[in-house]
Structure 1
Amino acid sequence: MANRIKEKYLARKKYFDYPMLFLVIFLILFGMVMIFSTSSYKSTITYGNPYHWLIRQAAAVVIGAVFMIAFCKIDYRVFKHLFFARGCYGLSIALLVIVLAIGAAKKGSVRWISIGGFQFQPSEFAKILLVMYLAYTLSRNAGKMRSFWDTLKVLLKCVPVIGLVAYQNLSTALVICAITGVMVFVVSPKTKELIGVALGMVGVLVAYLAFSSSYRNERLQIWLHPESHEKGLQTMQALYAIGSGGIFGKGLGQSMQKMGFVPESHNDMIFSIICEELGLFGAICLILVFMALIWRMLLIAMNAEDLFGSLIAIGFMTHIAVQVFINIAVVTNTIPPTGIPLPFISYGGSSILAIMAEMGIVLSISKRIRL
């Protein structure tokens, strides 16, 4: 009798992934500490205030916390409607078209929309919108995707979004391609064909980098010969920072390379300063924290109440995993240089807002898991 009552209680008991929430909070706080450490010198020189970039990031984190709590409170199943899915698809295209029409230029690229002095990067939010659209489409048509053509039709619907992003930001388009590919791969039975398409796309990308515009070909040359290329300074300085950190680092705030030697030290190249200040030990610990977060998201995806929630968790998990891999690979010169921020850690309001919103949705999915 007691066992039966216990079983009924456990069957009704709701779950909440507190380990994931702890990991998210830790990464956000650690990111703010590292942003202050890496930006304080340059911020003092440029603005006469060591807290300039820290304050801006803190403001974005506060807004992101509101988004994360709101999405966590909302039952994710309210998004499981055709109207919402089509709205996500249409809104993502509309935002990306607006960028091309009236976007604000920054560092030679038009990737931002400026409203009343506030700038945001629509491509970051396009990732969320596309994941929600794909989750609905794939969950509704999972049983119908029997042929490769059925799978290809879903992929082709994503081409306009990927194309608009790639026009100005190839690296972000690659992340979106990875998210799309993994989500479709999970549902489609045509795994061999999808692997073939993925390998073909990698070959096309390599050829494109090698033989397309001089700008992208130059990046390939920087990757191959950073020590001799005239624009290989950033890569070499990042490698110097990693090497000089040793096993346990120079100590928090003691980096020399952040003092103007490593460009974007508080942004895309922040991992090199982490290695310099906290050493190999600190870098490995950070990677393990990311791996733990990805594992928690995978567990939520595996135990989600429905396929819709599972696909959302998989999409956002892929987003985090791919960006972490690309950022660290670029900093260590494992792949050609490209501009991808390190999730939770790199400076960037749009990035942290989008990621915290994603984490709120995943936590909402975890709340529907029954023990």
Structure 2
Amino acid sequence: MKRKKSLWARSGGEKRKQGKPERFFDYSLFFVVLFLVCFGLVMIYSTTAYTSSVENNGDSFYYVVRQGIFAALGLICAVIISRIDYHFFSRFAFFAYIVMLIIQALTPFIGSGAETHGQSRWIVIGPLQFQPSEISKVALILFLAYVCSRTVKSLHSLAGIGKILIMAVPMIGVVVMTNLSTAIILLGITFIILFVASDRYKPFLAIIGVCVAGMVGGLLMFPYRVGRITAWLNVETDDSAYQIRQSLYAIGSGGIFGKGLGQSIQKLDYLPEAHNDMIFGIICEELGLFGAAAVILLFIILLWRCMIIANNAPDLFGALLVVGVMTQIGIQAFINIAVATNFIPNTGITLPFISYGGTSVAILLCEIGLVLSVSRQIRLER
């Protein structure tokens, strides 16, 4: 985005304080995110109305109300954070990283929430239940953005890049033990932030090799993860591929314009996690190819606006913050849609801003607040 001289500079500053520059605020990004959140609430109600009324004594609004509360809190936090200078948060970069590293390491032992394949991924404190890995993503982004911006000269060498990578490995390591999909996102965030901060390319070829080897090791450590690959390769016959088959049935039956909002058949206890990991399949069934393409287009616009802000950020710290958030949203959206369409093996990743999950939507909105905080520091000169 080309910076231009402000109208104030040309008019002599009437009606404005002398020396106060015009600042940028990305309303396009804000309204795209707001639309995705509202659309998500509509789809969550459409997907859960029947099952919610059965499970909660006729209360068909149970899930959408819970999601709406977290979304409202997240939007309030996003607005507040957007008004704070993003440099303020750099003071807590190391502290947040260490605290979340400790909490993430303790989660398998102190977690008392929902368990998946024997691995506890949730922490319950009274009425509050949250997934520490969602907060760990923010802590890692903040930490890497701060460290890389302070040591950018050392990133000219493989040794310097390796030091930063080693700092991120503990967080990725403790997460991979319980949640491989989230570990992949953390790894992607680390790789992209380092790649953007460095002016070297060859060292990253070696890093890719190490990452691939680590991912293979993470798969082989747990038999159920290997089973997911087997199910992916034999989706028509493998009993473990039931969820993906139902998702493909939903996508195929939607056609071009879908069956209509609320008219899904697969959500009636046929498609597991229809309101969560597999909500894209229901979008395709009810709104068809047209609705699916519109959702993908909105995510592309969101990522494009983030890229514009990163390119025009006042400093490297702000740019890397935005790059980290952009990477997280992009990877999550890609993995969720790819899983629903059987493009990659099944893994539990929510569709940002749309899938059910209070912790996820609230934290994502806080991250958007960080991005908007960076956008507010961009000075426009016309």
Shared topology, TM-score over 0.5? yes
Which residue pairs with 2:254 in the alignment?
245
Which residue pairs with 1:117 in the alignment?
127
Shift of 1:299: 0.4
Matches within 5 A, 1:170-249: 170-206=180-216, 208-209=218-219, 211-249=220-258
Shift of 1:280: 0.4
Matches within 5 A, 1:1-371: 5-6=9-10, 12-48=21-57, 49-81=59-91, 84-108=92-116, 109-206=119-216, 208-209=218-219, 211-371=220-380
Corresponding letter in the other structure for 1:357: C
**Does structure 2 retain, via aligned residues, the 8 Å contact 1:38–1:265?**
yes
CA distance in 2, matches of 1:300, 1:170: 30
Shift of 1:73: 1.2
CA distance in 2, matches of 1:323, 1:101: 27
Aligned with 1:267: secondary structure? coil
Shift of 1:300: 0.3
Shift of 1:194: 0.7
**Does structure 2 retain, via aligned residues, the 8 Å contact 1:275–1:283?**
yes
Shift of 1:217: 1.2
CA distance in 1, matches of 2:102, 2:350: 24
Aligned with 2:121: secondary structure? strand
RMSD of aligned alpha carbons: 1.8
CA distance in 2, matches of 1:18, 1:201: 37
Mind listing any 5+ residue stretches in structure 2 that lack a counterpart?
1-5, 14-18
Shift of 1:135: 0.7
Shift of 1:208: 5.0
Q: Relative to 1, partners in 2 of residues 1:208 and 1:97: Cα closer, same or farther, differing over 3 Å?
A: closer
Q: Relative to 1, partners in 2 of residues 1:3 and 1:275: Cα closer, same or farther, differing over 3 Å?
A: closer
Q: Relative to 1, partners in 2 of residues 1:43 and 1:346: Cα closer, same or farther, differing over 3 Å?
A: same
Q: Which runs of structure 1 show a deviation greater than 4 angstroms over 4 or more consecutive aligned residues?
A: 7-11
CA distance in 2, matches of 1:52, 1:70: 28
**Does structure 2 retain, via aligned residues, the 8 Å contact 1:268–1:346?**
yes
**Does structure 2 retain, via aligned residues, the 8 Å contact 1:246–1:280?**
yes
Mind listing any 5+ residue stretches in structure 1 that lack a counterpart?
none
CA distance in 1, matches of 2:12, 2:109: 58
Q: Relative to 1, partners in 2 of residues 1:234 and 1:268: Cα closer, same or farther, differing over 3 Å?
A: same
Aligned with 1:119: secondary structure? strand
Shift of 1:144: 2.4
Aligned with 1:80: secondary structure? helix
Q: Relative to 1, partners in 2 of residues 1:367 and 1:46: Cα closer, same or farther, differing over 3 Å?
A: same
Aligned with 2:122: secondary structure? strand
**Does structure 1 retain, via aligned residues, the 8 Å contact 2:113–2:129?**
no
Corresponding letter in the other structure for 2:108: L
Deviations 1:25-72 (A, max 9, x none): 000000000000011111111112111111110111121122111211
Shift of 1:189: 2.6
Moved more, 192-201 or 356-365: 192-201
Shift of 1:8: 7.2
**Does structure 1 retain, via aligned residues, the 8 Å contact 2:154–2:161?**
no
CA distance in 2, matches of 1:3, 1:170: 51
Aligned with 2:64: secondary structure? helix
Judging by fraction of residues, say which structure has more helix: 1
Shift of 1:302: 0.4
Shift of 1:361: 0.7
Aligned with 2:320: secondary structure? helix
CA distance in 1, matches of 2:188, 2:64: 31
Deviations 1:82-110 (A, max 9, x none): xx221122121122133133111414330
Corresponding letter in the other structure for 1:98: L
Shift of 1:80: 3.0
Q: Relative to 1, partners in 2 of residues 1:304 and 1:238: Cα closer, same or farther, differing over 3 Å?
A: same
CA distance in 1, matches of 2:156, 2:235: 47
Q: Relative to 1, partners in 2 of residues 1:90 and 1:279: Cα closer, same or farther, differing over 3 Å?
A: same
Deviations 1:121-147 (A, max 9, x none): 111001001111111100001122221
Shift of 1:191: 1.3
Which residue pairs with 2:16 in the alignment?
none
Shift of 1:170: 0.6
Moved more, 31-40 or 71-80: 71-80
Shift of 1:213: 2.8
**Does structure 2 retain, via aligned residues, the 8 Å contact 1:112–1:122?**
yes
CA distance in 2, matches of 1:3, 1:151: 43
Shift of 1:204: 4.6
